[in-house]
Amino acid sequence: MKDEIVYHILKIFMTMLGFVPRRFGRFLGDILGLIWFRVDRRHREITLENIRLSLGRSSHVQGKGKLSEALQVSSDNNLGLSDIEQLILVKKIFKNIAGMLFELGWGYRLKREDIPKYFSIKGLENIDKAHARGKGVLVILSHMGNWEFLVASIALTGYKSSAIYRKLDFKPLDRIILEIRQKYGAQMIPLRGASLHIDQKLAAGELVGTLLDQNVDWYKGVFVDFFGRPACTNSGIAKLVLRTKTAVVPAYIVREGFNHVMHFEPEIPLVRTGDKIKDIEINTQNYTSSIESIIRLYG
């Protein structure tokens, strides 16, 4: 009963946010983000340290893939971000996350038929080509732009689509977020017990989206290079692809003005060496490197 009351309060709150003009909402998001940046020292320092280690001028990264080949940063060049540029980027990150609140309010009220006015796709031919193989497409996603709109953009492809998500502990908020994600036509698959559902969706020729840029416990993944540092990354995607031979396409969403553009990159080729463990490690590294390259492109 208590959760139901809180849910309706959140629903009213999100609806009210939806009436805030988008330009003013972005302004308020920037203000809140800067305040958050000032008062939350712990997360500010963590973010700044991560940016320094990954994009600073002293970082060393061995690029993999077409994007990163053009964007490599090594210790013997001066392509990394300066200290001031790192600080500016951290502020942008805080403003981005704070601004998402107002965008979610706007998205909560957005009608499905109005989505094409504000969302567009680039690289749809990459999805078409991968889908033509008849085994469905696994779309690997990252936390860029307003990632809560990734599902809306995938639905714009015209293909039946689903996305894997981790349930929030706070059930009323989880219910609201789930409503926003599913209102655009995609189905959400809870992470726990998702394997069977994913197999079924891919076998039916659907697109299945999943976030990859999250660190996991050592027993759930393999260690790969991510911005020059070892990161334990979920190996489940590589295992799934090696078993099903499903096509893997990286995708991300960015803002262009007040609109959102979904980019689909070319398919990442599956590597098979005959060594099961090595295959998992190599393919997981390739998926991670594709995300790293995209982040560097916009970082």
Taking the alpha carbons at both ends of the chain, their separation in whole angstroms is: 45
Residue 174: domain span = 2-298
pLDDT at 219: 59
pLDDT of residue 68: 36
pLDDT tens digits, one per residue of 160-175: 999 988 888 889 988 9
Structure confidence at residue 215 (pLDDT) = 63
Q: How confident is the model at residue 52 (pLDDT cuts 50, 70, 90)?
A: confident
Number of separate domains in the chain: 1
Cα–chain-centroid distance for residue 135? 23
Q: pLDDT band at 213, cuts 50/70/90?
A: low
